[in-house]
Structure 1
């Protein structure tokens, strides 16, 4: 029974996050970049792993804060979006590929799962990179920024998890 409860809570939390992002994206007229962010962040995050909040409330607000930061930076970086996007990708892609997968916090990852997650995350990162290049070629720097921000957030959550692990070892 507790697994069903957990599953329902998880679905409701994810639905609430998605609906909140959808409402904010409609209200701010940022549907395209929000869609690019979600399509980059969510699939890659599923296979890369990293930090998970202890409560659904913290997860909800952390996700929304990181999303809103993307919208704010997109607005204020206007002329520098492309440069910042490239810098974010140059930093994050190699690190994600090297560190993937980071333990999800639900117990150790088997060698078989580790290989599977690494392959899938590599494919997803390649697709995100192709989407990034396509958005540059089609003169959509805000979409390119959203893609790079999604990858950057995945990287931040990986690093948070690794630092948390290191601090427990000490």
Structure 2
């Protein structure tokens, strides 16, 4: 459905001579990604409002997606699976953060989780896909960006944990979001498929 809609947009742009026929596939894929991402974002916000955890959902999205843009990671074969994986990851992060609130040594756990995330990202990122293969120069650039992103995120989270203790549940969600995204770049999870769509 999303593909068909994206394809129609590209066809209309070709009809109006805004884009070339040769570029149709690229634009269709781009529109597909944008529409899929918007629908996932809207769905997550709605669920965040329903379950009264909108701010935590936003924190998860910000930290997870800002690292994912640079590092890449596992891609689902369909938009629906992408939404389900993202939804489960988000609410699992929120659930784990609630469980950690009752644990005295949660700061130590957060630091260890962030160190592990940095190691994984530095070792395995970036991960490209069949639809978006990266050249050697692009891989170098994205590796640097992903390393900087995960390190900056880790510093922000640790600084929040030290100076803004009242935001404990939020920086825990942020730390778990970073860790979950780092897991998606692991070779054992991110198996290259012959036909990868989106997410």
Shorter-chain-normalised TM-score: which range? 0.7 to 0.9
CA contact (8 A) 1:49 1:101 kept: yes
Paired residues for 1:91-170 under 5 Å: 91-106=116-131, 108-136=133-161, 137-139=163-165, 140-159=167-186, 164=191
The answer to whether structure 1 residue 66 and structure 2 residue 89 are counterparts is yes
CA contact (8 A) 2:73 2:190 kept: no
Distance 1:162 1:62 in 2: 13
Structure 1 unaligned blocks of 5 or more: 166-170
Using CA pairs under 8 Å that are at least 6 residues apart, name the structure with larger relative contact order, 1 or 2. Answer: 1
CA contact (8 A) 1:82 1:141 kept: no
Structure 2 unaligned blocks of 5 or more: 1-23, 193-199
Between Structure 1 and Structure 2, the one with more helix by share is: 1
| Superposed CA RMSD | 2.1
- Change over 3 Å in CA distance of 1:2–1:114 after alignment to 2: closer
Q: Which has the larger radius of gyration?
A: 2
CA contact (8 A) 2:183 2:189 kept: no
Distance 1:115 1:7 in 2: 23
Task: State the TM-score, normalizing by the size of structure 2.
Answer: 0.73
SS of match in other structure, 1:84: helix
SS of match in other structure, 1:158: coil
- Change over 3 Å in CA distance of 1:147–1:112 after alignment to 2: same
Deviation of residue 18 (structure 1)?
0.7
Distance 1:8 1:164 in 2: 25
SS of match in other structure, 2:186: helix
Q: Which runs of 4+ in 1 moved over 6 A?
A: none
CA contact (8 A) 2:73 2:127 kept: yes
The answer to whether structure 1 residue 90 and structure 2 residue 115 are counterparts is yes
Task: State the TM-score, normalizing by the size of structure 1.
Answer: 0.84
